[in-house]
Amino acid sequence: MSEKIATREAYGKALVDLGAQNDKVVVLDADLAGATMTKYFKAAHPDRFYDCGIAEANMMNIAAGLSTMGLIPYCSTFAMFGAGRAYEQIRNSIAYPKFNVKICCSHAGVSVGEDGGSHQSVEDIGLMRMIPGMTVIVPADANEARKATFALAEFQGPVYMRLARLATPVFEEDYPFQIGKANVLREGKDAVVFACGLMVNEALEAAKMLAAEGIEITVVNMHTIKPLDAECVLKYAQQCGNVITVEEHSVIGGLGDAVADALMGKVCCKFRKIGINDQFGQSGKAADVLREYGLTADQIAARIKETL
């Protein structure tokens, strides 16, 4: 690992470069450009930036209209207000007609910290995953967030991308990003951990702790929740026999359920979901809140040992 950069920061800076390469890219924000980091695009390409005010539902409808003109709208706000407040507009105005809109929401999960449960979206992956035809992506670090931002412009159709407020380590290894194709970051025979977002780094750290005890864990970065890389899931479930999912999201409807769906009736294995257990978040320092919900590396390592 090297420096720490938030995925929202990488997204904001990637938009600037993407906008310079592709004049069809436009960016919409809901009066949160300083937090979602679309401020960088606003400064570089002011004629293609639209501040829609605190009105996410309107923003999604505007983006839908812009997409019919051949433009590629990137909509940014907090996950709670994008996936939550504007759900109907995303469903009916964007996904139902299959419009080419990219919904890129930051401040997801409990690592939002002091903003508390009202702003900590722990159900957004589930909400977006349920929408027919919606692609769902959760980058693990800044490099992946940048690559994903560019990949969305080449991808035809609606996409939801989940970004984080908290600065987290950037992986030293520069691996490829392909929508729908998982990345295996560590190989091990005793169990496989499928993780997404900030939890990929925690899973890798947990694997290092377990390796010191002679337990070897495969860690898979499942950056695309939908469409899920089912081939990868089945392969490592069969090889390892023990499957664990880790996500900064409710255990209902997210990565864990997606992996379980892929496994059901196909592989006989032990299976455990690590995430937020049907609870709202609460206010506190990000590190403290993550520990409160059992989402730190040492806690994950302990849960993996229990599973084995």
Long-range CB contact pairs, 205-212, < 8 A, 24+? 205/297, 206/297, 206/298, 206/300, 206/301, 206/304, 207/301, 209/297, 209/298, 209/301, 210/301, 210/304, 210/305
Q: Indicate whether 174 belongs to any domain.
A: no
Q: What are phi and psi of 26, to 5 degrees?
A: -125, 155
Q: Indicate whether 175 belongs to any domain.
A: no
Same-domain check for residues 100 and 151: yes
Looking at the predicted structure, is the pLDDT value of residue 148 above 60? yes
7-21 and 142-154 helices, crossing angle to 10°? 40
Q: Indicate whether 44 belongs to any domain.
A: yes
Q: Indicate whether 178 belongs to any domain.
A: no
Q: Is 56 a catalytic residue?
A: yes
Q: Where does the pLDDT of residue 114 fall: very low under 50, low under 70, confident under 90, or very high at 90 and above?
A: very high
Task: Show which of 142, 169, 196 is a domain's final residue.
Answer: 169
Contact (CB, 8 A) for 186 and 208:
no
Alpha-helical (H) ranges within 69-113 are 79, 87-89
Same-domain check for residues 25 and 114: yes
Sequence-distant (≥ 6) Cβ neighbours of residue 138 within 8 angstroms: 125, 161, 162, 196, 197, 223, 224, 225, 255
pLDDT at 186 (0 to 100): 96
Contact (CB, 8 A) for 52 and 58:
yes
Task: Show which of 120, 144, 169 is a domain's final residue.
Answer: 169
What's the pTM?
A: 0.96
Tokens in use for 122? 């722990």
> Structurally, how many domains does the chain consist of?
2
Q: Where does the pLDDT of residue 173 fall: very low under 50, low under 70, confident under 90, or very high at 90 and above?
A: confident
Looking at the predicted structure, is the pLDDT value of residue 1 above 70? no
Same-domain check for residues 149 and 37: yes
Q: Indicate whether 263 belongs to any domain.
A: yes
Same-domain check for residues 88 and 132: yes
Tokens in use for 235? 């392969």
pLDDT at 72 (0 to 100): 98
Same-domain check for residues 282 and 194: yes
Domain hosting residue 124, numbered range = 4-169
User: Which CATH number does the domain housing residue 260 bear?
Assistant: 3.40.50.920
Q: Indicate whether 177 belongs to any domain.
A: no
Q: 49-98 pLDDT, tens per residue?
A: 999 999 999 999 999 999 999 999 999 999 999 999 999 999 999 999 99
Same-domain check for residues 194 and 68: no
Looking at the predicted structure, is the pLDDT value of residue 174 above 90? no
Mean predicted lDDT score pLDDT of the chain: 96
Q: Indicate whether 39 belongs to any domain.
A: yes
Tokens in use for 20? 């310079």
Q: Where does the pLDDT of residue 172 fall: very low under 50, low under 70, confident under 90, or very high at 90 and above?
A: confident
User: Which CATH number does the domain housing residue 108 bear?
Assistant: 3.40.50.970
Alpha-helical (H) ranges within the chain are 7-21, 33-36, 39-44, 56-67, 79, 87-89, 124-129, 142-154, 199-211, 230-240, 255-263, 286-292, 297-307
pLDDT at 37 (0 to 100): 98
What is the mean pLDDT of the segment spanning 109-134? 95
Please name every residue paired with 26 in a beta bridge, in sequence order, or none if there are none.
Answer: 73
Same-domain check for residues 122 and 247: no
High-pLDDT (> 90) share of the chain, % = 95
Same-domain check for residues 156 and 265: no
Distance CA 96, CA 240 (A): 39
Tokens in use for 268? 């006989």
Looking at the predicted structure, is the pLDDT value of residue 44 above 60? yes
Q: Where does the pLDDT of residue 212 fall: very low under 50, low under 70, confident under 90, or very high at 90 and above?
A: very high
Q: Indicate whether 176 belongs to any domain.
A: no
Task: Show which of 104, 134, 169 is a domain's final residue.
Answer: 169
Looking at the predicted structure, is the pLDDT value of residue 185 above 90? yes
Distance CA 25, CA 19 (A): 6
Among the listed residues 3, 9, 56, 173, the single catalytic one is 56
What is the mean pLDDT of the segment spanning 29-47? 98
Same-domain check for residues 103 and 246: no
pLDDT at 268 (0 to 100): 87
pLDDT at 252 (0 to 100): 97
